Amino acid sequence: MFFLVKTTPGRERAVAESIMYRAIAEKIPIQSLMSPDDLRGYVIVECQTSYPVDLVIQDVKNARGRLAGVLSEEETIKYFSEKPTIETLAVGDIVEVKSGVFKRMKAKILEMDTTRNEVTIELQEGATPFPITLSADFVKFLNKSKEPEQTGK
């Protein structure tokens, strides 16, 4: 069975590591732990019953408690499958370049080519704007564009 443990947002991995180390040290029967990036503020714990989960999260810093109920396998499977980056992006989104010369620079998506898995971006931090085409795997989504959309009159 899968249980959700509520955590302080941003501290999911630290809580998962603390739970893992405590379960090993005290020989608490926990089968697996998962802290997916998509599930902010929660850690998924696999265990036979809820009692070991309650036991292992006691006094763990940033663990806020176990949510009542059990997650179904269908709900947990969606965190195991990896979605292509380009499916989560749209024209106008603000992204961050993850590697290369422009690493850590913010950019706006101008065009997308889903068949080739490429995006054309325009750096926001550059002195002169010019389009750059790179693989969608080299960008990380930050947020939607803050500019209001143009409406035709």
What is the C-alpha to C-alpha distance for residues 63 and 148, in angstroms, rounded to an integer? 39
Same domain, 100 and 139: yes
Q: What does the pLDDT average to over 66-81? A: 84
Domain assignment present for residue 151? The answer is: no
- Claim to verify: residue 47 and residue 65 sit in the same structural domain: yes
Number of domains in the chain: 2
Task: Give pLDDT, residue 18.
Answer: 92
Q: Verify that 66 and 95 share a domain, yes or no.
A: no
Q: Which of 23, 45, 77 is the last residue of a domain?
A: 77
Residue 150: pLDDT above 80?
no
**pLDDT surpasses 90 at 85:** no
In tens, the pLDDT along 87-115 reads: 888 899 999 999 888 888 899 999 999 88
pLDDT at 151: 46
Pairing between β-strand 2-7 and β-strand 42-46 as defined by DSSP bridges: antiparallel
Residue in the block written with tokens 């405590």: 22
Q: What is the pTM of this model?
A: 0.57
Residues near 83 by beta carbon (within 8 Å), at least 6 away in sequence = none
Residue that terminates a domain, selected from 33, 57, 77: 77
Domain end point (choices 77, 108, 134): 77
Q: What is the mean pLDDT of residues 56-79?
A: 87
**Which range of residues forms the domain containing residue 71?**
2-77
Is residue 152 included in any domain, yes or no?
A: no
The answer to whether residue 17 sits within a structural domain is: yes
Nearest residue to 16 via CA among 27, 1, 37: 37
11 and 72 in one domain? yes
- Separation of alpha carbons 70 and 42, rounded Å: 13
Q: Is the pLDDT of residue 152 over 70?
A: no
Asked if the structure places residue 97 within a domain, the reply is yes
